[in-house]
Structure 1
Amino acid sequence: MAEQRTVNAGRWAMVHGRVKVGLPTVMIAHTVCANVIALDISQEKLALARSLLIAQSLDSLPQAIFVTDLEGKILLANLTASTLQANESQDRPKAHSQDIFQVLSDLEGVDETGDAPRTAERLAGRVLLTPSGRSFKVQVSPLDTAPSDSTGWLIGLVEFTAERLAEEQRDSLLRFLSHDLRAPQSAILALLAMQEKSLVCLPIGELRRHIELQVRRTLSLTDSFMLLDAAKSKPLDVEEVLMAALVMDVLDQAWPLAQNKNIHFKLDIMDDECCIVLGSQELLTRALFNLLENAIKYSAPSTTVHLNLSYQNGEVVLRIQDEGEGINEEDLPHLFDEFRQFDNGREKGHGYGLGMAFVYTVIQRHSARIECSSQPNVGTVFTLYFQPALLTDRIRCSDFPIQR
């Protein structure tokens, strides 16, 4: 009993500082502190590893993913999202310095509407059409740490560009079959019915001429449609194209058409390595011929068509200017629409509305640009901009184009 009281008294003295702590006690305390520090470090490493795992998991996803807080500030963007933003909005700040509303507006190439409510719910189902022609649908899901506690938003962009293009192609084909391809056949049937019921029949030679005209129209329309479809979907046979040679080749093809109307060509062509582009020789030739054919078709006799090929500000620039009927201002936004014809004030345009759609498709597939300016009864100017095939710092360009 006495010994027990002695042990208890010793413990009381150590607790209240009455007895000096020996070396073994110090070592124990040091070990405990070291274990606590190691535990903290392990927890930090675990948190870092968890964050790295989440980031790597998001980067492995094929669709663009943004993680935001409740106000829409972007906390994390996966690799697909960062690449998409870099490609579609190269002059914008990085994603982590923006909110999601601004990022989506930048991707679409429009200014954010200041009066619209800034809530993630309104983004759900939104469709984005980027300037490059890609299509995305926005999906939104809340981030929950507790059953009733939302801490942020997981926002994904699901691309459906291929599906949209397939649907547009289907609609175009149905329109082609239901209207444009049926029109010549209906005309032939009408001629035959008129020949059968009319008291005064057409001469056989004239009847055959009308039927042949409609048959050739059907074949031409089918060829134009198939060419447009090929320009949209088939892989490009890419090669180096010397634009000066291509222009001269197209001029040779268009020369008989110009001669019939006594139309002259005035050329200002740079024949230089600067004006080499990468692309399909066949498609570019046909697109340029369509533009030159229109310039001749809609120009009055004894006028001039101007062609200028130059190298300006790092781009190959081709300019085609006529002195023809011109295009009304209200028609310019629809100039490249399929099956679109225009009334110049005297008669409806010839053709089937596929030629300019073909030109635009070829230009888009070559990552080029086309601009049009026109004034009725004065003329039309088409300007095409191509990226050169060679690096500008490795070639020497002439200061002035070669006059021909």
Structure 2
Amino acid sequence: MADTAPPFEGSRRRAAVSLPLIALAIGLALVAYLVPDARPPALGALALAALVGLIQRGARASRQRNAVKTDASSPLWPNASVKSVVDAMREPAFVLDRNLALRFSNAVGIQTFGNMALGDPIAMRFRAPELIAAMAESIESGEAQMTEYAERAPSERAWAVDILPMPMPGEARPVFFLALFRDRTQMRRLERIRTDFVANASHELRTPLASLSGFIETLKGPARDDPKARAQFLDIMQDQARRMSRLIDDLLSLSRIEMRRRLEANELTDLVSVMRVVAQQAAPTAAEKNLALELTGLEEGEALVNGDHDELVQVFGNLAENALKYGDAGGRIQIGLTRTDETVEAFVRDFGQGIPPEHVPRLTERFYRVEDGSGRVRGTGLGLSIVRNVLIRHNTRLSISSIPGQGSTFSVRFRLRVPGAFEKSQYKS
């Protein structure tokens, strides 16, 4: 019959056995200190007591090893069939006994949490009071328990843990328990992203709506008979309505992009054509702002890449629009390509005020915006997030280089393709 003592009962028994020996050692030490004539025999007795303690400790360790071996050979030990089932699980799983000692760990558990010696208390690895309490509750009640476990190092991970009793033939109470860890890290991350997205979208829509509502009330009240104020307020209301329209368009565009499949390997487009279309679209705004629009690297012939023409026009059109909006102080904008034997890099460069380095890593986050030189925040904050998601679909990424006071360069690297020689592998920058 397996030991059904409550968790850590063995530790209390060992402490009780050792107390008389500890008391004897303390008494002999006091005699040796207080009675000089009795010091030699007292020290001899103290040495003998220490030797007896070592012998007892060795005997205890031997009994523990024998107990583990006995349990391992008994029908109650997790047999080969149970081990094979637990080892086949795709999530970390551990078999524990009623003392919360580890009896078996599957390969995924060892890979995820490191190797643990059989027979060691599970609390030596998982120092989480809620988790240990749930395990103890399952042992006490004989019923399944569920809890959560989180780790902050070496990386942040979240787990849902099921503690499941494992009934054994001939045993009224479960002797072994399965602790199954289910990774919920990605789910928690998506929940945070969704929550943040809803909060940010609501805030962005609430601002122009509040403005429209306020001006409507003003037009119905104090400004009812003021033609000048009415014209001014209507212009502002039109700007706010356009802002909401742009925001909704960007949200819908972002949603469509995230739902699309990856590109086919034989889907080709010419980056030279893409950049010429972008330059043509940007020309009127550049002329209006007296900015020189320079095209570089487009005269060397076509540059075929695996990509969707319209989506790439959207990507570089967005980058050109940002350059015209935030880099107009530099007097010129560059749109072009640089090539190597196997790759081509498309870029948009401005020579304006640049971006402070602390903002650069976060520019592609949804709704993240940087103040312009006037202290205002412009745009919806979704443009570069759309760029990022389109480029993920194209199996590449956006590189951002910026020096405050000198300007910014937004570039994307692609692998050049040859018509008729389609490769299954995609280029990763």
- Aligned equivalents of 2:270, 2:238: Cα separation in 1: 40
Query: Which deviations, in whole Å up to 9, do the C-alpha atoms of 1:242-288 show, x marking residues without a partner?
Result: 222212222222121222123221312485676412x3333222121
Equivalent residue for 1:240, pick from 234, 247, 268: 268
Q: How does 1:344-383 map to 2 (within 5 A)?
A: 344-383=372-411
- Aligned equivalents of 2:337, 2:369: Cα separation in 1: 29
The 1:380/1:118 distance shift into structure 2, 3 A limit, reads: farther
- Find the counterpart in structure 1 of residue 234 from structure 2: 208
Q: What is the DSSP-based 3-state SS (H/G/I as helix, E as strand, rest coil) of the residue aligned with 2:297?
A: strand
Q: Under a length normalisation based on structure 1, what TM-score does the superposition of the two structures give?
A: 0.59
2:350–2:407 contact (8 Å) kept in structure 1: yes
The 1:143/1:76 distance shift into structure 2, 3 A limit, reads: farther
Q: Which runs of 5+ in 1 are unaligned?
A: 1-49, 82-95, 104-116, 396-404
The 1:301/1:325 distance shift into structure 2, 3 A limit, reads: closer
1:266–1:304 contact (8 Å) kept in structure 2: no
Q: What is the DSSP-based 3-state SS (H/G/I as helix, E as strand, rest coil) of the residue aligned with 1:241?
A: strand
Equivalent residue for 2:125, pick from 116, 119, 122: 119
Deviation at 1:206, TM superposition (A): 3.4
Task: Report how many residues are paired.
Answer: 306
- Find the counterpart in structure 2 of residue 264 from structure 1: 293
1:67–1:76 contact (8 Å) kept in structure 2: no
Which structure is richer in relative contact order (CA contacts within 8 A, separation 6 or more)? 1
The 1:394/1:336 distance shift into structure 2, 3 A limit, reads: closer
- Aligned equivalents of 2:421, 2:182: Cα separation in 1: 39
Equivalent residue for 1:192, pick from 204, 216, 221: 216
- Aligned equivalents of 2:345, 2:107: Cα separation in 1: 42
Q: What is the DSSP-based 3-state SS (H/G/I as helix, E as strand, rest coil) of the residue aligned with 2:284?
A: helix
Q: Could you tell me which amino acid in structure 2 is paired with residue 320 of structure 1? A: V
2:296–2:336 contact (8 Å) kept in structure 1: yes
- Aligned equivalents of 1:205, 1:256: Cα separation in 2: 28
1:315–1:387 contact (8 Å) kept in structure 2: yes
- Aligned equivalents of 2:254, 2:154: Cα separation in 1: 23
Q: Which runs of 5+ in 2 are unaligned?
A: 1-78, 96-100, 116-122, 132-147, 424-429
The 1:186/1:321 distance shift into structure 2, 3 A limit, reads: same
The 1:288/1:323 distance shift into structure 2, 3 A limit, reads: same
RMSD: 4.7
Deviation at 1:235, TM superposition (A): 3.2
The 1:318/1:130 distance shift into structure 2, 3 A limit, reads: farther
Q: How does 1:163-178 map to 2 (within 5 A)?
A: 164-165=189-190, 168-169=193-194, 171-177=196-202
Q: What is the DSSP-based 3-state SS (H/G/I as helix, E as strand, rest coil) of the residue aligned with 1:181?
A: helix
- Aligned equivalents of 1:210, 1:335: Cα separation in 2: 28
Percent identity between the two aligned chains: 19
- Aligned equivalents of 1:388, 1:284: Cα separation in 2: 15
- Aligned equivalents of 2:277, 2:270: Cα separation in 1: 11
Q: Could you tell me which amino acid in structure 2 is paired with residue 119 of structure 1? A: R
Q: Could you tell me which amino acid in structure 2 is paired with residue 376 of structure 1? A: P
- Find the counterpart in structure 1 of residue 25 from structure 2: none
- Aligned equivalents of 2:300, 2:93: Cα separation in 1: 49
Q: Could you tell me which amino acid in structure 2 is paired with residue 185 of structure 1? A: L
- Find the counterpart in structure 2 of residue 384 from structure 1: 412
